Structure 1
């Protein structure tokens, strides 16, 4: 007998079983007839070809007797056994002539049985159903069973069941088999009561008892009769099998007895050595997550394996994985799990719930970018939701306000067909916040555009005043002074920004050389009661008094600046000494210069200027030798200095006054040769011409005159317009036009101060489009100190650290502005750190700290932290990095946050490390370099935690979101490495 064995695991998941294509039993035997002819004898000897020939000859005689009918029957069988193509022909001949003859019916039986034995159940059913089997009896019950089984295998369960119901109750060999298959059909139809009765009866046959028990257990399982599943298995003689372990585990789990379920799951895994059964892993994950077991790490281990696919089971597994991670307080891992679930669309309710959790968790960890993206995803996919939408709208509103990705928030609101009052208020604040961020990052043109957007809906008057203030600040920075005046003056007198606007107006009028108004506005700031920039106001007011030659007031203002905390001592002391010189208080001036020269307040910018002013004092007080010696010290200094030309001119004048004309001529000639573009060169040429007029021979005077390039006091109107157009293109971000215009301008003008500025602007334009090579060329060609600084920064950016160091140091030794000197020190700190010259890093950190510039504190703390980190002083490093984060929200804070994550990683606390590293992504989204570095570190942490699912999810996020080909390649390499 043959029997279809039912696979237990498939029954558990209610999967339709594919049955073996063989009958359980059949009885052999072919009706035989008496050997009445030679053909029959040949047939019985299985010489079918010879027999077929004789039968054909006999039938051809058309005798129409009993033997003819038998011969046609034999012809059908011969053709069948020989597999001749004329088989169907002989069948049709027999049926058409003798449709109801008992020989024909016998042929059907024989054909049906033959096909049945061959496993061709379609053909078997074709012939067996031609028999009258409506009322099976002991004589034909085997044929009825064969037909029922053929129907069953052919999935014609209705006709199969009709026959099985008739033969399952008899006293014959097929009764239990019929009961089994009748029970199975009832089971598939969900008629568990009938199925239970039939299967229970079939269990009396020992040959099929085991399979019947399995099916009965499956029926109990689908009826949710888990106690009976357990009882049935435990009393079974064959219960000690892996399949039963699995059923027991699942039944105990469903009954809520997770502890026992886990025991059977573990037993099953050990005995069956299953590696890839994700259904099993899902149930194990659920079991381990039960509060009675509470082995959440094992739960996430198995559920991660379930979730790491793209089918419906992965969606369910990812959802449950997210829930377990929430219980573990691992919000980042939960976000990855819910992200996986929401992107799979098999179960809409799960997708919706996962989408909500994704938004809420991102909102809770302050990842406003992902939270707002999640809101947009939810709105797009669940437009008609009424359960979550209220909470989502609340979170979305707050996320936009707190979002670091203000640009996306603005775009979202701008796409609204209509904006209610709440949206307009949000738009004003988001645009303003975005503008301030851009302003702090030095992106002034973009900040200006965002500020104008914030003024679209001026509902909040103080934000409106703040926007005007920053527009004034930007215009001041961009030298658009008329615009700066307009914006500052729009600020309401009751605004918190009114005092700062006075300061801005003071700076603007100062740059416009309207020093009287400048003094008035600085005075307004002083009288406003605000002290934030009081020292700056006094200092700049003093400069304005100095410009209008009110030296007494200037002295008073400089002293007030010091009193209120001015840290630019060199500027203050130097200009006070100039005031004293102008007031002809030479002794006081000399003493002050001496203090400045000796004290720690002096810096390289003023060294030669101090000497020059002392020389001037000596000159005015008739101490010519001291004057000449001091001037010679300046002239002999190997570094380039704008003071050298003045020192040469004054020394030349002293020699000329003393009739030492050859030396005077040499000094004047040196000025022309070394500083041909300077105003002093013109004065030196005039001195030479005067000497020549007095009859003193000047060698090569004509050559000197031709060599001297006169500063272009005026450009042509076209050239002037062209330079202004270039500046406008640059400010508007149209760098291609700026490059074209500046290149044309430089080709058509002679060298001057304007050409240096044009070359610098051209360098900035090339830098803006990423052409660092050309940018560096033009920055250096400009010969401006700010150009040298930019060139050094580019060298650092492209990895030419030694070159960058040389240029930064040159900036420090030059007479650069204070802010340029600070930037150079920061550049040196960064370059020496990369080169691991920590002694130099510490030196310049100390120098930077002594600059008394509050805005440099974040970079100071950052590099102190990195020094501590490199030396393994992790607690000290963490403290320094936290100071950075408290002080600023820029790229330094992003890097500091990244290093805090690395500290926990170094300590082996991977979960805390991930929590800190994820803050880089949540809080500093605009600094992509550190965001991706943090995510790569998170992925490595997950590998250390043996959580491949989370590692892959993290890296996949990088691939899906990065625009950097190098970053994407690095991420894909990671995935390939893990797959290997």
Structure 2
């Protein structure tokens, strides 16, 4: 409330005082004194209206009080009212107070620009001494609040020249301005003067502590500040604790510093510098895990602080035996150039750790040691680095990068040459194991570039030959095998003892043993077979190893060569000899032996051999054919009853076999030989009625039916029987004539003509007898010409008519063609029908394999598992098929969340092969550990994947990306980013775009997580001193007028 005391106005006449206008004035004065400004203003207005003379003293007083009421009521036009009074009465004593009152009014309402405007119009010396002090303070404070610090400083300084009610707040503001100007000693002296003042006591220690810190008076700060910790407000406690912590830090009392830093980090948003300081305290007090976390929060700018933080992180990791993480941190520090000593030490330590751990995937150690030697050739560590570099070359698994690195060294000493030879050899073996034989040959050739190690030099020559063999380059294989024979040291290698075996096999495969050749090709074939015999015999004569797998195989190939050369007696002898070697499955040898015995008309021997085969190997893939051959052998020996019984046994055991129609014809023929036309007729009619699509068998059955009627002396009945079945003899002759043209073109080997004649045959014969054969011949021609779409049309026609002679073969070809065109659903149908129609082991193996792959690509995981297991139960599995079966069973179990079973089969892949499938299997095992949230196991398994030899870039990169996910899940963003960066900086393998895009995505995700983590830290607000409450309290204590503390009810102005 603003109270202004005026001198009492005396009036001479009582009647005048008691008259109505004066009564209103008196009423207004009473209301004003009671602070009822709105009512008082009403009566002052009435007085003004009743005194028309503007110079009347009563009216002038009423006008003044009217304006003061407006001031206290915060009327919007108060400024206009007071200004008008000044203009109307410029010489009146009360006019000198108008601008001072307006200045105070705007000061009270915190409109400091306006308060300054009106205070500046005041003549300070027109005011009383008390009002002058108030004027100086409020004008100084208004300038202070409008950041006019220099003007405020002058006013506060003037005020402080004398003892006033404003000494304490003026001292505070004046000291604060000095503090902000960096005049710390002046500020310090001022703050100390008021340090015991009750109003300012909570804030002064903060100022004094800040000033002592700025003056580097850390000992004084430590002596002064800690006792005030409990009195500091929670809002400032964290920052206050940091000042104390920093001072202890400067004095290298890290344990004590850490005590205060802990208070700081609980309530304040940390800076890079504060994170570093706290981390360094943890580091110095041997709390390494805590310091690592905080150091990692410093490393987002490339500067000296980051380099130092990485270096301390690395050392901390070493001290807790986390060498892999230490390696990463040393690498980071080595890439920054702010501190040369740290850079040098980091590079050397990084390289040593990379070598020691032996699982860094991109062999950064090689580059690191090379860089170190190049950059610091005269350092004490250069010689040691060179020795390490040699060791790295000899132990690396990343052969390609090592080779590139070594080839950059122009003058290699013998040790480097030896390392180079070893690396290129290992790379060549890796390529060979992964079936990249052409590349393997090139690498094996490089082994001979520096022939330091004679064993490697000789072995490389052998594997060049072996790679050519795998590429079906048999002549080159033979040439290189022979070169191997004469290479120094070859006789001491493990491969030398089997050399003739490999040469023999190369000649054998070169002969095209599965093809019947004519003319010059036949001559070459015979020559190759003779050479194969020569080397195989050399091998068996020199190495008579009865338990050797290769020895038995050599005997089989000797027998096969004699068989192909039509020397069946020697073929039989060697097949028989092979059956004496080891406890093996000899069904192939017995089957071939029986065939040769048949060819030399040793039917008794053939029968004995076939009986042995069917009895000893009932599950052999030759079981079906051996029963048929045995039955035929009995027939050849005129042992018709035994032949009949064997054929009947075949039908009984294999009712759905595709050869049943042939067997029925044979039975019909045998019964005719036995003069039993009724029995013969039964089996012949079965062929005609049940197997109408078996063309050849139908023709034979029709012909044999003539003999049935002949034995009955009823040939007329035969023709009646033909008519009854709708068989037109004239059409039959036309059919035979046109079909004969097809056969002629087939024998000439002219596929185009064959297709033309077969098409004509089908178009011009109604119900052609050989319809299936025509389609089969055309399908084969199209297939051999690479026109697989056309071939599929004809194979599909054949498969639509089951029980024909070509049904099974058509199913196999149709399944293959549709699989190659990725029509897996249709391919699956063909392979499934093959499984249903055949009991032949080879057919079933093809069927199971086809269904296995189809189900896998169709993502039918349970069916994939089922048929992959069937594949694994097959005999003579190729390596690639076996590893695919293990791998895809594992993947299928993983997809259906049977993780234990998945791991079991992934382990089987790893034990079985070291090809790329093993790397993929290992990756999936790591993936399962990650899915189980077993981060420690996951990391350990990924390290095993990295060390796995040989390594495969794609799965290696996938594993390292997974390692990044593994670290991310644990909020270890430093090592997560390092893992991802190693991919972004080094990956050059297959599917590069996919891998790098994935890496970039993961890096962005990790960065976003880091940002979110920083957002969740406690936030320390900017230092903001709320000065005015202290001013008001100080003023009130010193007797400053109560109107400065008044709360205004603004509704009163409405």
Structures share a fold, TM > 0.5?
yes
Deviations 1:692-739 (A, max 9, x none): 27854477484999676442377569x955885566xxxxxxxxxxxx
Matched, 1:756 2:782: no
Aligned to 2:673: 657
Matched, 1:218 2:243: no
Mapped to 2, the partners of 1:588 and 1:277 lie a distance apart of: 96
Task: Rate the CA distance shift 1:773–1:228 in 2: closer, same or farther, 3 A.
Answer: farther
Aligned to 1:13: none
Per-residue deviation, 1:637: 0.8
Per-residue deviation, 1:551: 3.1
Aligned to 1:290: 283
Pairing 1:228-627 to 2, within 5 Å after superposition? 228-236=220-228, 238=230, 243=237, 247-253=243-249, 255-264=251-260, 282=275, 286=279, 289-294=282-287, 296=289, 298-299=290-291, 323=314, 327-330=319-322, 506-507=508-509, 509-510=511-512, 513=516, 515-516=525-526, 519=529, 539-540=556-557, 542-552=559-569, 554=571, 569-584=586-601, 593=610, 596-597=613-614, 599=616, 603-627=619-643
Decide whether the 8 Å contact of 1:109 with 1:127 is kept in 2.
yes
Task: Rate the CA distance shift 1:215–1:237 in 2: closer, same or farther, 3 A.
Answer: same
Aligned to 2:877: 819
Q: 1:790 aligns with which of 838, 845, 850?
A: 850
Matched, 1:888 2:879: no
Per-residue deviation, 1:556: 6.7
Aligned to 1:692: 706
Deviations 1:822-881 (A, max 9, x none): 969996998799999xxxxxxxxxxxxxxxxxxxxxxxxxx9x968999xxxxxx9xx95
Mapped to 2, the partners of 1:525 and 1:890 lie a distance apart of: 35
Aligned to 2:70: 78
Matched, 1:110 2:111: no
Aligned to 2:828: 776
Decide whether the 8 Å contact of 1:811 with 1:821 is kept in 2.
no
Per-residue deviation, 1:149: 3.2
Decide whether the 8 Å contact of 1:535 with 1:566 is kept in 2.
no
Deviations 1:146-165 (A, max 9, x none): 33433433344454445455
Task: Rate the CA distance shift 1:200–1:356 in 2: closer, same or farther, 3 A.
Answer: farther
Which structure has the larger Rg? 2
Pairing 1:28-107 to 2, within 5 Å after superposition? 45=32, 46-47=37-38, 50=42, 78=70, 81-84=73-76, 87=79, 106-107=97-98
> Secondary structure of 1:789's partner?
helix
Task: Rate the CA distance shift 1:824–1:492 in 2: closer, same or farther, 3 A.
Answer: closer
Aligned to 2:138: 146
> Secondary structure of 1:218's partner?
helix
Task: Rate the CA distance shift 1:211–1:623 in 2: closer, same or farther, 3 A.
Answer: same
Mapped to 1, the partners of 2:117 and 2:330 lie a distance apart of: 55
Mapped to 2, the partners of 1:450 and 1:438 lie a distance apart of: 7
> Secondary structure of 2:199's partner?
coil
Task: Rate the CA distance shift 1:65–1:367 in 2: closer, same or farther, 3 A.
Answer: farther
Aligned to 2:941: 916
Q: TM-score, normalised by structure 2?
A: 0.58
Per-residue deviation, 1:603: 3.9
Q: 2:696 aligns with which of 668, 672, 682?
A: 682
Task: Rate the CA distance shift 1:301–1:489 in 2: closer, same or farther, 3 A.
Answer: same
Mapped to 2, the partners of 1:184 and 1:604 lie a distance apart of: 103
Task: Rate the CA distance shift 1:115–1:708 in 2: closer, same or farther, 3 A.
Answer: same
Decide whether the 8 Å contact of 2:919 with 2:956 is kept in 1.
no
Mapped to 2, the partners of 1:329 and 1:934 lie a distance apart of: 23
> Secondary structure of 2:589's partner?
helix
Per-residue deviation, 1:465: 10
Unaligned residue ranges in structure 2 (runs of 5+): 11-20, 335-341, 368-374, 377-381, 411-421, 451-456, 488-494, 711-717, 733-766, 801-805, 836-842, 984-993, 1014-1054
Decide whether the 8 Å contact of 1:901 with 1:917 is kept in 2.
no
Mapped to 2, the partners of 1:902 and 1:630 lie a distance apart of: 55
Mapped to 2, the partners of 1:589 and 1:938 lie a distance apart of: 67
Mapped to 2, the partners of 1:548 and 1:800 lie a distance apart of: 49
Mapped to 1, the partners of 2:479 and 2:126 lie a distance apart of: 105
Decide whether the 8 Å contact of 1:472 with 1:487 is kept in 2.
yes
Mapped to 2, the partners of 1:772 and 1:579 lie a distance apart of: 42
Deviations 1:532-582 (A, max 9, x none): 978667645643543343335545765787899896633234324433444
Q: How many residues align?
A: 842
Per-residue deviation, 1:764: 1.6
Decide whether the 8 Å contact of 2:795 with 2:811 is kept in 1.
no
Per-residue deviation, 1:911: 3.2
Decide whether the 8 Å contact of 1:789 with 1:824 is kept in 2.
no
* Range with greater deviation from structure 2 (604-613 or 564-573): 564-573
Task: Rate the CA distance shift 1:806–1:867 in 2: closer, same or farther, 3 A.
Answer: closer
Mapped to 1, the partners of 2:856 and 2:686 lie a distance apart of: 36
> Secondary structure of 1:571's partner?
helix
Decide whether the 8 Å contact of 2:644 with 2:667 is kept in 1.
yes
Mapped to 1, the partners of 2:705 and 2:397 lie a distance apart of: 73
Deviations 1:280-305 (A, max 9, x none): 99479626742424252x5567789x
Mapped to 2, the partners of 1:460 and 1:104 lie a distance apart of: 112
Unaligned residue ranges in structure 1 (runs of 5+): 1-26, 343-349, 376-384, 414-418, 423-428, 477-483, 728-739, 837-862, 871-876
Mapped to 2, the partners of 1:668 and 1:196 lie a distance apart of: 126
Deviations 1:213-264 (A, max 9, x none): 1122123345554433321123548569872655544544554433334445
Aligned to 2:756: none
Mapped to 2, the partners of 1:361 and 1:33 lie a distance apart of: 96
Aligned to 1:381: none
Mapped to 2, the partners of 1:432 and 1:218 lie a distance apart of: 69
> Secondary structure of 2:654's partner?
coil
Task: Rate the CA distance shift 1:111–1:519 in 2: closer, same or farther, 3 A.
Answer: farther
Mapped to 2, the partners of 1:440 and 1:86 lie a distance apart of: 99
> Secondary structure of 1:290's partner?
helix
Aligned to 1:14: none
Decide whether the 8 Å contact of 1:538 with 1:560 is kept in 2.
yes
Decide whether the 8 Å contact of 2:772 with 2:798 is kept in 1.
no
Aligned to 2:774: 712
Per-residue deviation, 1:57: 8.3
Task: Rate the CA distance shift 1:625–1:910 in 2: closer, same or farther, 3 A.
Answer: same
Per-residue deviation, 1:489: 9.7
Per-residue deviation, 1:631: 3.0
Matched, 1:120 2:111: yes
